[in-house]
């Protein structure tokens, strides 16, 4: 039987903690669907790592957004959705009602920043659909999007400038 010193055990625990933190930081939805007016068809995003930073509580509320226009957001979590990220031809099969998390992407109508508000994630591997919330108090996570995230959404075809052009 081998006996480890406290120093060795402490080192192993520290390494395990670092690995755990890194794996948790890598968690994000597999596919995100943007849908609703003014879109005539959903826009799907599979490179969704950028949304990880908005997976925290926020002090911004739906009431703060007043009558600002928004796109609906459906987030698909879990390994069962990886096939959709690998084969974009399958994306059209996804329906918002099957998503494990929902949100709203509030568009800028001038100097207001673009804001994502979403439901808290139930589990990083959510495979059970979550109901689409009509209760505005359900959207308690998110925040103002950073400029690089706004640029990313623009590049992948999310019409974030739609209301600015009108």
Residue 129 in this model has a pLDDT that exceeds 70: yes
55-107 pLDDT per residue, tens: 788 999 999 999 899 999 999 988 889 999 999 999 999 999 999 999 999 99
7-31 pLDDT per residue, tens: 543 443 334 433 333 333 346 789 9
Work out the average pLDDT over 46-52: 69
Angstrom distances, CA of residue 162 to CA of 106, 110, 124, 166: 11, 11, 32, 7
* Cα–Cα nearest to 104, from 53, 47, 32: 32
Q: How high is the pLDDT of residue 140?
A: 94
Q: How high is the pLDDT of residue 24?
A: 37
Confidence of residue 51 (pLDDT cuts 50, 70, 90): low
Residue 50 in this model has a pLDDT that exceeds 50: yes
Residue 142 in this model has a pLDDT that exceeds 70: yes
* Cα–Cα nearest to 153, from 54, 9, 68: 54
Is pTM beyond 0.85? Reply is no
């Amino acid at each position: 039987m081998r006996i480890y010193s406290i120093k060795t055990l402490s080192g192993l625990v520290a390494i395990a903690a670092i690995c755990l933190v890194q794996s948790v930081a890598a968690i994000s939805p597999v596919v995100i669907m943007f849908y609703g007016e003014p879109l005539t068809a959903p826009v799907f995003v599979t490179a969704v790592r950028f949304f990880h930073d908005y997976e925290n509580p926020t002090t911004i509320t739906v009431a703060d957004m007043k009558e600002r226009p928004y796109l609906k957001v459906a987030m698909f979590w879990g390994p069962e959705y990886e096939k959709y990220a690998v084969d974009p031809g399958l994306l059209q099969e996804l329906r918002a009602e099957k998503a494990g998390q929902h949100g709203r992407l509030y568009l800028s109508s001038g100097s207001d920043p673009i804001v994502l508000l979403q439901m808290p994630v139930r589990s990083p591997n959510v495979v059970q659909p979550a109901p689409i919330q009509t209760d505005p108090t359900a959207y308690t996570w998110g925040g103002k999007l950073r400029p690089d995230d706004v640029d990313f959404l623009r590049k992948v075809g999310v019409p974030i400038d739609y209301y600015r052009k009108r």
